[in-house]
Amino acid sequence: AGPPEQKVEPEQKVEKIEKFLVIMGAVFPTHPSYDFSNPLQQQAYWLTKRMEEKHDVTVVCREGSSPFKSMVNFTHDLEKVAYAEVKEQVKWEEYQLIVDFSTEKWSYQIAKGKNLKVLYVTHPLLGYETPPPLRYPCMTGVSNAHCAHLSRETGIPVRKLPFGCELVEGDFKREDKDYLLYFGRVVKEKGVHELISLCKKRRLELVVAGDDRSEMGIEPEYVHRILEECDGGMIHYVGSVDESVKLKLISQAHALVIPYLSDTDAFTCLTAKAATLLKVPVIALKRGAVSEFIDQGENGFYVNSIEDLDSFDFEHLDELTFEDAALERARPAYGRFEALIQEAIASPW
């Protein structure tokens, strides 16, 4: 059985939110950011731009970012240094809420000794090393599975704010070139070795794209083994690619395959959401939040084990329906973000 049916609620008219602040500890990308790949910064941009259309938003971000109506800029690349640049420039108490996308959690430092409300948006790989002060426990995760994980780590409630993708219609044409695609870091828990073995055994063409971090000391022997397996015959390794190449690879794939072996690597998987918007099937092991973003028979399939994946029929995927609800869940959660902001402002912290 697939995930529970989720209704897409119609957008409701909301009152204007007077003065809230968004912190981003890096450069905001241009829109759409096809030469830029950073999930947290992309979500921050898309969500904030939509909120700016209706609400009074001020953005703290790196000089050179895309323009917003109201901005406070810093010039240094290091967040710790950048915080020192802006902490005296901003009258923090004037804002109803601080929405913090930074990795250094500026808002926690700012909130000390002040009566401020903070909504901290986490990335799946970051965000719980330093839990927020219990006085300000408004933290978000990207899926139900991620929220449960964060709650166990921090001991506080965590609200759900799914990440999503935005694509300009017509920029990437669907063209099935009959290869399977793996996209992700080349590390053992992502399971790329299992997928390579499967494809070699069944004579299926596979393109492997993603970061090789062996120079940083991350699993160098494993990476060396994977690169040797990618012989350029049926198995191709293209390395780390920018956002435009990533989306082109997805649009031309027969299917995107997610063989992740650990739950923590499958909390969001934005690549799968991009594939859904491009109407490319997603096939995955059921780990983490996979069942939250794959609707069986609509935008793909999930299986329970490597053995099930090994016997999966990749040839007949034409019957997937890509219903509107699945497409909507692949996009940024604009309504949810707006509702969380309003709820946080109304809460008696």
Secondary structure of 148-216 as H, E, C letters: HHHHHHHCCCEEECCCCCCCCCCCCCCCCCCCEEEECCCCHHHCHHHHHHHHHHHCCCEEEECCCCHHH
3-state helix, strand, coil in the chain (%, to 5): 35, 15, 50
Contact partners, residue 197, CB within 8 Å, separation at least 6: none
Distances (CA, A) of 347 to 116, 132, 200, 333: 12, 17, 56, 21
Rounded Cα distance, 1 and 292, in Å: 12
For residue 183, list its beta bridge partners: 209
Which residues, 6+ apart, have CB-to-CB distance to 80 below 8 Å?
Answer: 104
Give, for all 349 residues of the chain, the pLDDT tens digit: 443 444 444 444 556 677 888 887 665 555 444 544 567 778 888 898 899 998 999 988 888 777 888 888 888 777 777 778 888 888 888 888 889 888 777 777 777 667 788 888 887 655 555 666 666 668 899 999 999 988 888 888 889 999 998 887 667 888 888 999 999 888 899 999 999 999 999 999 999 998 776 666 678 888 888 888 998 889 999 988 888 888 999 999 999 999 999 888 888 888 999 999 999 999 999 998 999 999 998 999 999 998 999 899 998 888 888 988 889 999 999 999 999 998 888 887 6
What's the confidence (pLDDT) of residue 232? 83
Q: Are 118 and 100 in contact (CB under 8 A)?
A: yes
Q: Is 150 exposed, middle or buried (0-12, 13-18, 19+ CB in 10 A)?
A: buried
Contacts for 13 with CB less than 8 Å, ≥ 6 apart: none
Please name the residues in contact with 281: beta carbons below 8 A apart, sequence gap of 6 or more. 254, 255, 256, 275, 299, 300, 301, 317, 320
Residues 6 or more apart from 97 whose CB is under 8 A from it? 17, 20, 21, 117, 118, 119, 341, 344, 345
Give the integer Cα–Cα distance in Å for 72 and 343: 25
Closest C-alpha to 235, from 271, 284, 313, 181: 181
Q: How far is the C-alpha of 241 from the C-alpha of 56, rounded, in Å?
A: 36
Residue 114 pLDDT: 74
| Predicted pLDDT of residue 345 | 86
- HSE, CB side, 13 Å, CA atoms: give it for residue 302: 21
- Predicted confidence at residue 7, as pLDDT, reads 42
Q: Residue 225 pairs with which residues in a beta bridge? A: none
Rounded CA separation 253/236 (Å): 13
Residue type, position 280, single letter: V
Residue 252, pLDDT score: 95
Name every residue whose Cβ is closer than 8 Å to that of residue 189 and which is 6 or more positions away in sequence: 260, 261, 262, 265
Which residues 6+ apart lie within 8 Å of 323 measured at CB?
Answer: 295, 298, 299
CA–CA separation, 142 and 161 (whole Å): 5
